Amino acid sequence: MTLRQHFTATGDQSGTSSPMPRILGLTGGIGAGKSFVGHLLVQAGFPLFDSDAVARSAYTESETVREQVTALLGSECYDAEGLPRYSEIARRVFATSTAGDALLHQLEQIIHPYVSERLVSWAREQQAPEGWLVLESAILWQSGFDQYCDAVAVVTAPEAVRIARVQQRDRATREQVKARMSRQQALDPTALRQAYPDKPIYTICNDGTQEPQLLIAELLRQLKQL
C-alpha cells in the first residue's frame, strides 16, 4: 500500500481537504547521480525525503536505535562521545560471510522501521505544488520502501562513468569502487518493470551527454500523464 493509499484509507489528509501527494521513488547505483537528480527535483519544487541520510542519523537521534545497535554489534560501535563508528559498523555488517549477512539483516530490522516512521511523519507535513513528493533511497527495494511509492525513477549511467565519478569523488581506487558496486542490488529498469508491472518505473540516463534540465523536464512530462 502506498502512503497515499494508506492516508486515504485511514482518513488522514494532514488536516486539509487536499489529497495527499503521490510519492516518486528515486534510486540508482553508486555513481549514477541519484543525489544530483534529487537536487534538480528539489530545485523544480519537489519536497525530497533523503532516506539514506535519515538512516544515518538514526544512530544518534534515536535512543532506541542506539540501544538496539549496541546490543547487536557491541559498545565498540560508538566512541567515547557517543558518536557512531560507521567504519566499524560497516566492517562488521559488510563482511563477506554468512555471519556478516545475518548482522546486516538484523541491523536493517532496526534502522528501516525508524526511517519508515520518519517518512510517514514527514509526508503528512508536506505541501507539494506539483502533486508529488520524492523519496530518495539507494536501497529502495531492499529496504521495502518501494511499497510507499506510486512511481519510481531509476537513475542510470554506464559502469565506466560511474566508476570514474566515484573515484574522483571519494579518492577511491577502481578496485574499491568495484567492491562497493558488487554489494549493491543490480538496478536494471527493464527487469524491474517485469518484476513490478503495476508500478510505473522510469529511467533517467545520467551519462553526461544530455542537459540535466531536459532529463527532469521529460520526467515531469511522464509524471503528469499518470
Question: DSSP code of 135?
Answer: E
The predicted structure's pLDDT at residue 19: 64
pLDDT the model gives residue 2: 77
The model's pTM: 0.87
Residues 199 and 147 in one domain: yes
Paired strand residues for 205: 156
The verdict on 158 and 205 lying in the same domain is yes
Q: Which residues does 192 contact at the CB level (< 8 Å), separation at least 6?
A: 141, 152, 154, 201
Whether residues 218 and 162 share a domain: the answer is: yes
At 17, phi and psi to the nearest 5?
Answer: -90, -5
Tell me how crowded residue 216 is: count the other CB atoms within 10 A of its CB: 18
Q: Find the distance separating the first CA and the last CA of the chain, reported in whole Å.
A: 17
Beta strands in 13-137 (DSSP E): 22-28, 48-50, 132-136
CA distance 150 to 1: 9
pLDDT computed for residue 21 by the predictor:
84
Given this model, what pLDDT does residue 131 score?
Answer: 87
Quick one: pLDDT at residue 18? 54
Q: According to the model, what pLDDT value does residue 7 have? A: 65
Joined grid coordinates for residue 50: 533523503
210: phi then psi, degrees, rounded to nearest 5: -120, 150
Of 82, 103, 125, the one marking the end of a domain is: 125
What distance lies between CA 39 and its chain's CA centroid? Answer: 14
Q: pLDDT value at position 203?
A: 93
Indicate if 225 and 149 belong to the same structural domain. yes
- The whole domain housing 85 covers 52-125
Rg of the chain over all Cα atoms, to the nearest angstrom = 18
Task: Tell me: do 24 and 1 sit in the same domain.
Answer: yes
Q: What is the largest CA-CA distance in the chain?
A: 53
Amino acid at 77: C
For position 17, what pLDDT does the model report?
A: 46
Q: Over its length of 226 residues, how does the chain's per-residue pLDDT go in tens digits?
A: 676 676 666 666 555 545 678 999 999 999 999 999 999 999 999 999 999 999 999 999 999 999 999 999 999 999 999 999 998 998 888 777 788 789 989 999 999 999 999 999 999 899 887 889 999 999 999 899 999 999 999 999 999 999 999 999 988 899 888 878 877 777 888 999 999 999 999 999 999 898 888 988 999 999 999 8
Are residues 225 and 137 part of one domain?
yes
What was the pLDDT predicted at 92? 87
Query: In this structure, are 143 and 222 located in the same domain?
Result: yes
Judge if 35 and 89 occupy the same domain: no
Residues 161 and 224 in one domain: yes
